[in-house]
């Protein structure tokens, strides 16, 4: 009995000692729960930053953030378009599971015929607002005492399904629209973001709103979600920024041609659009304001900062803004250019600045990662399609092999096809719903997806296809249907017009934007009002 008590006392003392040592090693930032700032950019491509390889765009603030945290080189959005990807960040679920598989407002079923595209399929129906029965990341954080703030693009439902209906106490600018109605310079048309100063830049306004929130709540614990409307079209910039990037394009060498023909639409091959470059830089300026607010408030070492995009850069359709090379495709496409994104996580006390991870990660991983880093219990029945990346951020090896799934049973206006995707380890299989054909790529040797190796590896393709279809059935994924009014002759005529008329027009527009006498209008989209 005395011996047992002796050993008990030793064990007790050892435990106290370990706890004391552990507490001494804990950084100040962990003695209370950390703040979280989540920065989501709309339509930003994987190589639209200096930190990820662009020689043309200048993003010093985001580049600095990337160097101070960990860069996930194989980071993915959960969808090739915005609303589904955003819903996956909020819920921790893949798109086929939560049901928002297209951008909210897109036509589906027979309504698709109104576009006169003459496609083979009628796009699937989809959920039109963030499901109320899901516990969003904002609701989870708020329940734990976090002040929750949202600024910018929402696009996850109409009134009744706004940010404040899904856990955010403060909403600055989030409503049902997915683009900057009225443009990037005040006066804009946004009922939850009043106009203050004529000519004010929208990205900067959202950055300032976020910075003000940080300063006002520096003595509390907060979860701030900055969701830029930039760099979504319509692309606009100031004359000063256009001048800068027009001259830079000339110094780098302006190529005679800027596009090539993809399967459906021409696709941009050059990063030389000075309007888009200025829009990117304005967004980066706003990020700088937010990061400076953290520093000025003494919160830089106590705040997790996350940066990513909701889908690939717009290389076709919309504003034909950027090139995602060496990745194939862009927003709306099934290839890597449509879904691979900048994906940075800065956790100051982990001291992993400048590190990189090539472990494949996706938008659904943010939810469990944030909870884990904030020492909040996981909600495993909610963020079912995500995993915590905390071990990787701590420098540990992640011995998890898991499939990633994408489901897009729709046509977009960028040229992508209705398809579903599975990625497991280095292999990526795409299943096309028009004809049941499939493509297989080894992303280690062919990140540009130029060589479909399905004929060389039929067993790998068969196994991945079986997993993909099994998963889609398991989650009850909605599917497209054949259009009985499909007309191959009309479809061919449309394709011929794109090749013979649209493609040359895009080349002419590209050179117009780079011409020394380019002038969009007298006040440069309203930006000159406050500068004259």
What does the pLDDT look like over 209-223, one tens digit per residue?
Answer: 999 999 999 999 999
Provide the mean pLDDT of the chain. Answer: 94
In a domain, 468, yes or no: no
Measured CA to CA, the distance from residue 18 to residue 20 in angstroms comes to: 5
pLDDT grade, residue 2 (50/70/90)? Answer: very low
In a domain, 203, yes or no: yes
In a domain, 431, yes or no: no
pLDDT at 9 over 70: no
pLDDT tens, 249-300? 999 999 999 999 999 999 999 999 999 999 999 999 999 999 999 999 999 9
What pTM does this model have? Answer: 0.93
Q: How high is the pLDDT of residue 394?
A: 96
In a domain, 471, yes or no: no
Domain count, the chain: 1
Q: Is 349 exposed, middle or buried (0-12, 13-18, 19+ CB in 10 A)?
A: middle
In a domain, 450, yes or no: no
pLDDT at 3 over 60: no
In a domain, 1, yes or no: no
Measured CA to CA, the distance from residue 277 to residue 474 in angstroms comes to: 43
Q: How many CB atoms lie within 10 A of CB 309?
A: 28
* Average pLDDT of the residues in 120-139: 98
pLDDT tens, 323-353? 999 999 999 999 999 999 999 999 999 989 8
* Average pLDDT of the residues in 61-73: 98
Please state whether the peptide bond connecting residue 231 to the residue before it is cis, i.e. omega within 30 degrees of 0.
Answer: yes
Dihedral (Cα; 165, 168, 169, 172), 10-degree rounding: -100
* Cβ pair 90, 137 in contact under 8 A: yes
* Average pLDDT of the residues in 466-489: 98
pLDDT grade, residue 91 (50/70/90)? Answer: very high
Q: How high is the pLDDT of residue 266?
A: 98
In a domain, 83, yes or no: yes
Q: Is 121 helix (H, G, I), strand (E, B) or coil?
A: strand
Q: How high is the pLDDT of residue 27?
A: 54
List own/partner pairs for 423-429 with CB under 8 A and 24 or more apart.
423/76, 423/360, 424/464, 424/467, 425/401, 427/460, 427/464, 428/336, 429/454, 429/461, 429/464, 429/465, 429/468
In a domain, 181, yes or no: yes
pLDDT at 452 over 80: yes
pLDDT at 22 over 60: no
pLDDT at 21 over 60: no
* Average pLDDT of the residues in 399-405: 93
How many H helices and E strands in the chain? 14, 19
Q: Percentage of residues in the chain with pLDDT exceeding 70?
A: 94
Q: What's the CATH number where 67 sits? A: 3.40.720.10
* Average pLDDT of the residues in 180-202: 97
* Cβ pair 304, 73 in contact under 8 A: no
Measured CA to CA, the distance from residue 279 to residue 321 in angstroms comes to: 10
Which residue intervals of 419-481 are DSSP H helices?
Answer: 458-475
Closest CA to 416 of 96, 13, 81, 129: 81
Helix (H) or strand (E) holding 165: none
User: Measuring CA to CA, how many Å separate 152 from each of 88, 148, 170, 228, 527?
Assistant: 17, 14, 11, 5, 19
Q: How high is the pLDDT of residue 26?
A: 41
Q: How high is the pLDDT of residue 16?
A: 44
Q: How high is the pLDDT of residue 32?
A: 78
Q: Is 275 helix (H, G, I), strand (E, B) or coil?
A: helix
275: domain range? Answer: 33-395+491-514
Residue 109 has φ and ψ, to the nearest 5°, of 60, -145
Measured CA to CA, the distance from residue 87 to residue 96 in angstroms comes to: 11
CA-based end-to-end distance of the chain:
89
Measured CA to CA, the distance from residue 456 to residue 197 in angstroms comes to: 61
pLDDT grade, residue 12 (50/70/90)? Answer: very low
Q: How high is the pLDDT of residue 18?
A: 42
pLDDT at 315 over 50: yes
């Amino acid at each position: 009995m005395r011996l047992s008590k002796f050993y008990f006392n030793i064990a007790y003392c050892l435990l106290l000692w370990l706890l004391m040592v552990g507490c001494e090693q804990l950084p100040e930032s962990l003695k209370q729960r950390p703040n979280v700032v989540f920065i989501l950019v709309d339509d930003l491509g994987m190589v639209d930053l200096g930190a990820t390889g662009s020689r043309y765009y200048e993003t010093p603030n985001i580049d600095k953030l990337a160097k101070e945290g960990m860069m996930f080189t194989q980071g993915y959005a959960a969808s090739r378009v915005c609303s589904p990807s955003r819903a996956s960040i909020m819920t921790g679920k893949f798109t086929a599971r939560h049901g928002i598989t297209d951008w909210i407002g897109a036509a589906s079923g027979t309504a698709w015929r109104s576009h006169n595209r003459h496609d083979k399929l009628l796009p699937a129906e989809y959920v039109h607002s963030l499901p109320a029965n899901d516990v969003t990341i904002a609701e989870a954080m708020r329940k734990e005492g976090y002040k929750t703030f949202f600024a910018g693009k929402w696009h996850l439902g109409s009134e009744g399904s706004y940010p404040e209906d899904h856990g955010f106490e403060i909403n600055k600018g989030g409503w049902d629209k997915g683009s900057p109605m009225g443009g990037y310079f005040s006066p804009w048309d946004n009922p939850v973001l009043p106009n203050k100063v004529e000519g004010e830049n929208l990205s900067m306004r959202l950055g300032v709103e976020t910075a003000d929130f940080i300063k006002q709540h520096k003595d509390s614990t907060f979860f701030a979600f900055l969701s830029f409307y930039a760099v979504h079209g319509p692309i606009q910039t100031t004359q000063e920024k256009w001048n800068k990037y027009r001259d830079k394009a000339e110094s780098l060498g302006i190529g005679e041609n800027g596009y090539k023909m993809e399967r459906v639409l021409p696709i941009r091959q050059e990063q030389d659009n000075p309007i888009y470059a200025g829009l990117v830089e304005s967004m980066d300026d706003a990020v700088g304001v937010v990061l400076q607010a953290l520093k000025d408030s003494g919160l830089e070492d106590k705040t997790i900062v996350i940066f990513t995009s909701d889908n690939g850069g717009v290389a076709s359709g919309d504003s034909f803004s950027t090139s995602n090379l060496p990745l194939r495709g862009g927003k709306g496409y099934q290839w890597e250019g449509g879904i691979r994104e900048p994906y940075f996580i800065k956790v100051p006390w982990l001291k992993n600045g400048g590190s990189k991870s090539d472990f494949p990660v996706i938008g659904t991983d943010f939810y469990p990662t944030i909870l884990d880093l904030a020492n909040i219990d996981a909600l495993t029945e909610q963020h079912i399609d995500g995993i915590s990346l905390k071990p990787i951020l701590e420098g540990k090896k992640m011995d998890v092999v898991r499939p990633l799934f994408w489901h897009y049973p729709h046509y977009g206006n960028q040229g992508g096809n209705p398809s579903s995707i599975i990625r497991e380890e280095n292999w990526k299989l795409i299943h096309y719903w028009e004809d049941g054909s499939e493509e297989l790529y080894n992303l280690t040797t062919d990140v540009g997806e130029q060589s479909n190796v399905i004929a060389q590896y039929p067993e790998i393709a068969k196994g991945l296809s079986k997993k993909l279809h099994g998963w889609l059935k398991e989650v009850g994924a909605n599917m497209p249907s054949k259009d009985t009014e499909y007309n191959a002759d009309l479809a061919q005529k449309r394709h011929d017009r794109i090749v013979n008329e649209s493609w040359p027009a895009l080349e002419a527009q590209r050179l117009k934007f780079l011409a020394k006498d380019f002038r969009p209008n007298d006040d440069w989209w309203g930006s000159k009002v406050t500068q004259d």
